[in-house]
Structures are given as C-alpha cells and as structure tokens.
C-alpha cells in the first residue's frame, strides 16, 4: 500500500513538473512562431496541439516514474536491504557478518562509507565477544584444577588412621591449591578494576631506585635457595611521579618471573638508568627464555607460554603489568632468546629531570 502510494505520488510530481516545463516552453514557442509567421493560430489548431502535448507529458511522466523506480531499486533499496539484513544478524548476536561493498557504478560512495563503518564495528564487537567468552572459559578452566586438587586431597584426608606425615602433606596440598585460587581471584579483581578504570592512580613523587631495591629484596630467600647470582646497577636520585603501589605490582611480577624461569646457578640483573624524560628499568635473567611466537602473546590474559611452571602462576601477571604501565603512560618491551635469557625493559616518566641534568 505504501509502495503504491509512493509510486502514485512520484508520478504526480513528475507529471506536474513535466506539465509546467512543457507549458512554459510551448507558450514561448507559440508566441515566437506567431510573431515570425505574422498570423495567430486557430482554436482547432491549438486544441489538437494541446491534446498531443498532454499525451506526451503523461508518457514522459510515466517513463520518468519507471526510470526513477528502477534507479531507486538498485542505488538505494538494495544497499539499504544489505545493511539492514546484516545489522539484524548483529542484533541477534552474530558478529561474524560482513557487508559486501556496493559496486561503484550502482551507488555513490556514501553507502560504501556506512558499510565500511559497520564492518569495522562488527570486527570490534566480535573481538570483544571473543575476549569475553575466552575469559570465562579460561577462568572456569583455571578454577577447575585447584578445585580438583582440593577435592582429591580432601577425600584422601578422610581415610582412617592416616600417618601423620601424609596428613600434613595432604593438608599442605589443599592449602596450596586454595592459595592459588585466592591469588587468581585477587589478580582477576585487580585486572578488572584496572580495566574498568576503577583504580585511580595515587600519584606521588618518590625514589624509584629505592622501590626497586625493596622489591628485589623480597626474593632474597628464593635467590639464596636457587643459588642465583644478583647484579645491580642502580642510578641514584631517580625521582618519578607515579602510583607507588601500582608500580610495585610491576616490579614484583617481573622479578617473580625472572626467578621462576631461571635455573639454579643462573643470574638476575637489575639496572636503572635515567635519561631525559624517562627512567629506564631493565630486569634480565639467564633463564629459559622464550621464542618470538610466545613473546608475541605474553601480555594476554591467562597466556602461559611455559607450561612447566604453570602451577606457579595463572598467566595474569604480565597482563596486569602491561595494564599498569599503560595507565602510567610508560612503555614496556621484552627481548628474549630461547636458552639464553630474557630482558624486560620498562620506561617510566620521571620528574625533575631538567634540574638533575643541569646539576
């Protein structure tokens, strides 16, 4: 019904337009012809000419209406249908749809611009959706392992007359698994709050060298147990304006990985230098290193390249590190070679660098 009404109204628009233009032209033509012939046309002559012209105008209007209808079908209705079909699928949750661009001769660039934007939006949305589903799958998977450990050892603890050392061993396994679960939940919550900008950085000025030393010292018992050599080269008076608590997360995670992935008798090196606007921290180890393929994914949530140490972490550490460094508007990079070792480099903006350079 709407279509019929639109076709009729289109016809009337073309009819009125054609009738108006043709009448004006004919009136001008007749008056010019009468002037040059030197005689006036008779009533009959004018009636015949008016009928023929009226017929022409009607045919012309019908022709224009049909042509306009065909033009609209190809240049407007088809692209609009393509777009609405795709967006309806997106509304139903299918973000894999992409709209084919319209051939250049069939439309102007406007529809293709809209199509390009919708395709980009679908790509972004499918990325977010994958992250969300991956995240849920990963969390569930990571929770299942410690829960299974707790269940198994809990069952074993129920065996009557259990020797004392077995009872202690099983209880320790349960405590370790529950600690792992609690650590993972703490990391997920921290990451979630960091990603949703619910943590507002408490910026303060402090000495970065001191903070790095404090963080490194927490691992004293580990490096003594594993007989790991420590080398430090820390520039003095490197003052940064940053959130000390958040940055300590970064150093703790990097040191913990360095000690975790370094074999007994290896070496961990810490250097702090300051040049221009940035303070540069390098944490190197002579551990197992990682391939370029692994290196490309280490900042992703739940990614664990080295599964032999999987029980000592949950793949969230470096995702947290990256998020904090981004919030601090710093930079982080990694260089690594399998069997040689790994170096993480973090750059943090420092304060008072002008003063220091002038000294």
Cα–Cα distance between 115 and 164 in angstroms, integer?
A: 71
Span interacting with ligand ADP, options 108-116, 227-235, 236-244, 312-320, rule CB under 6 A: 312-320
293 CB contacts (<8 Å, ≥6 apart)? Answer: none
Site size for ligand ADP (CB under 6 A) = 23
Cα–Cα distance between 9 and 73 in angstroms, integer?
A: 17
Lookup result for tokens 């980009």: 120
Q: Which is nearer to ligand ADP, 6 or 312 (CB)?
A: 312
Find the binder of ligand ADP among 261, 278, 325, 350 (CB under 6 A): 261
342 binds ligand ADP (CB under 6 A): yes
Cα–Cα distance between 130 and 118 in angstroms, integer?
A: 18
**Cα 108 to chain center, whole Å?**
31
Q: Which is nearer to ligand ADP, 146 or 287 (CB)?
A: 287
306 binds ligand ADP (CB under 6 A): yes
Least gap, CB of 334 to ligand ADP (angstroms):
8
Find the binder of ligand ADP among 282, 303, 345, 351 (CB under 6 A): 303
Span interacting with ligand ADP, options 176-184, 267-275, 280-288, 345-353, rule CB under 6 A: 280-288
State the binding string over 228-257 for ligand ADP (x if CB under 6 A, else -): -------------------------x---x
Span interacting with ligand ADP, options 45-53, 73-81, 192-200, 305-313, rule CB under 6 A: 305-313
Helix/strand/coil percentages in the chain, nearest 5: 65, 15, 25
Least gap, CB of 266 to ligand ADP (angstroms):
11
69 CB burial (10 A radius; 0-12, 13-18, 19+): middle
Q: Which is nearer to ligand ADP, 253 or 280 (CB)?
A: 253
Site for ligand ADP in 77-136 (CB under 6 A): none
User: Residue 252, SS3?
Assistant: helix
**For the residues of 179-233, what is the DSSP string, one character each?**
HHHHHHHHHHHHHHHHHTT-SPP--EEEEHHHHHHHHHHTTHHHHHHTT-EEEEE
Q: How many CB atoms lie within 10 A of CB 341?
A: 22
Q: Which is nearer to ligand ADP, 79 or 287 (CB)?
A: 287
Find the binder of ligand ADP among 79, 146, 266, 317 (CB under 6 A): 317
Binding footprint of ligand ADP on the chain (CB under 6 A): 253, 257-258, 261, 285, 287-290, 294, 298, 303-306, 313-319, 342
């Amino acid at each position: 019904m709407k279509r019929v009404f639109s076709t009729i109204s289109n016809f009337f628009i073309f009819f009125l337009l054609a009738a108006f233009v043709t009448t004006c032209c004919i009136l001008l033509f007749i008056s010019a012809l009468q002037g040059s012939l030197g005689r006036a046309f008779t009533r009959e002559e004018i009636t015949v000419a008016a009928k023929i012209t009226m017929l022409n105008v009607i045919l012309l209007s019908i022709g224009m209406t049909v042509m306009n209808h065909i033009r609209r079908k190809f240049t407007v209705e088809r692209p609009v249908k393509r777009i609405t079909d795709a967006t309806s699928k997106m509304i139903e949750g299918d973000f894999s749809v992409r709209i084919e661009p319209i051939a250049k001769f069939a439309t102007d660039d406007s529809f293709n611009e809209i199509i390009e934007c919708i395709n980009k939006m679908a790509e972004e949305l499918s990325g977010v959706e994958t992250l969300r589903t991956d995240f849920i799958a990963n969390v569930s998977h990571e929770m299942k392992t410690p829960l299974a450990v707790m269940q198994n050892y809990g069952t074993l603890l129920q065996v009557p007359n259990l020797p004392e050392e077995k009872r202690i061993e099983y209880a320790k396994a349960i405590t370790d698994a529950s600690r792992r679960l609690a650590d993972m939940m703490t990391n997920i919550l921290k990451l979630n709050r960091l990603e949703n900008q619910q943590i507002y950085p408490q910026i303060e000025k402090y000495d970065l060298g001191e903070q790095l030393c404090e963080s490194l010292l927490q691992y004293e018992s580990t490096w003594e147990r594993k007989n790991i050599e420590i080398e430090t080269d820390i520039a003095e008076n490197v003052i940064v304006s940053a959130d000390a608590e958040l940055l300590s997360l970064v150093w703790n995670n990097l040191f913990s990985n360095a000690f975790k992935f370094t074999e007994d008798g290896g070496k961990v090196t810490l250097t702090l230098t300051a040049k221009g606007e940035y303070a540069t921290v390098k944490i190197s180890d002579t551990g197992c290193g990682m391939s370029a393929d692994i290196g490309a994914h280490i900042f992703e949530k739940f990614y664990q390249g080295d599964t032999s140490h999987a029980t000592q972490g949950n793949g969230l550490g470096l995702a947290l590190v990256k998020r904090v460094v981004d919030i601090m508007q710093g930079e982080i990079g990694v260089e690594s070679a399998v069997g040689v070792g790994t170096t993480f480099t973090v750059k943090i903006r420092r304060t008072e660098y002008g003063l220091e350079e002038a000294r």
